[in-house]
Amino acid sequence: MLEASAVRKEFGGLVAVDDVTFEIGEEEIVGLIGPNGAGKTTLFDTISGVHRADGDATIRFDGIDLAGRPPHIVSRSGLVRTFQIVRVFGEMSVLENAVTGATFGSDDPPSRAVAEDRAIETLEFVGLGAKRDAPAATLTVAEQKRLELARALATDPKLVMLDELASGLTPGEIDEISGVIRRIRDEQGISVFWIEHIMDAIMGTADRIIVLSNGRKIAAGTPAEIRANEEVTEVYLGNEAAGGTNGSDATDGDNGHANEREDETGTENGNGNGNRNRNGVAGADDGSETGSGGADES
């Protein structure tokens, strides 16, 4: 479905994504992990048209060449995304937010009635049906993340790219959103490409995991294979720590101490304070690279 080859993105000589090649098939959940600054969000931005790839990169989706295409064309091809920092229309109702996806995500916009029906269906799917008339600004962070997901699903996509959807959520909310992601694949047949720092969430949900470090793809495989990968362990824990572990602790969501760092911005949870996730890996990036022309911070 999605085939990317030699994807590269530079910012003033800084290589943020370094010749990354991968593919995602139909009805597949693929995770994308790596330390902060690994290039994950820049890779998303390059695939979705926010940034133009450098060099001889090829990006094909469902047989269509997307390299160099603007975001609205990429979206209308069936490949949509969410962002690290929640971006909802706060003064509009929950339903109106979802209607925007149903209306503007297609080359052939449906009627208002059809768009509303599609929006209501997606809101029910993500668990926001009862709040469809509420202003989006009144929702909690977890609910706003669900709303952004509903808006993406309302475009009727074939693949949805999720950028740290679980960041800033409570353990219970993380379990719930992980269940929704599985249902997207199982019930709607939509593939998922998911950036996440919360390891127990992504390891328990994804079929395959891709690992980036310093812009390079250093590993790819099943969750079990990634847990056992020594290079991944070294990236998360460092050389000395990696020498004393079998690799499983580096990406074990129940470990509680792997790569323990605090996010300095706290912008994901909207409170301006640092946020620490369940496994101690930084739970949010600053998101400043999205659409800004800056290097990736994720």
Residue range 97-156, pLDDT digits in tens: 999 999 988 778 899 999 999 999 999 999 999 999 999 999 999 999 999 999 999 999
Give 250-267 pLDDT, tens digit per residue. 555 443 333 333 333 333
Q: How far apart are CA 208 and CA 68, in angstroms?
A: 27
The pairing of beta strand 159-163 with beta strand 191-195: parallel
Query: Among 60, 28, 81, which Cα is nearest to 189's?
Result: 28
pTM beyond cutoff 0.85: no
Domains of the chain: 2-269 (3.40.50.300)
Residue 273 has pLDDT above 70, yes or no: no
| Mean pLDDT value across residues 264-273 | 36
Question: Sign of the CA dihedral 154, 86, 160, 67?
Answer: positive
* Cα 52 versus chain centre, distance: 19
Residues in the chain: 298
Residue pair 164/285 in contact (Cβ under 8 Å)? The answer is yes
Enumerate the H helices of the chain as residue ranges.
40-48, 71-76, 94-104, 112-126, 141-153, 171-188, 199-203, 223-227, 230-237, 239-242
CA 111 to mean position of chain CA atoms = 30
* Predicted confidence (pLDDT) at residue 73 exceeds the cutoff of 90: yes
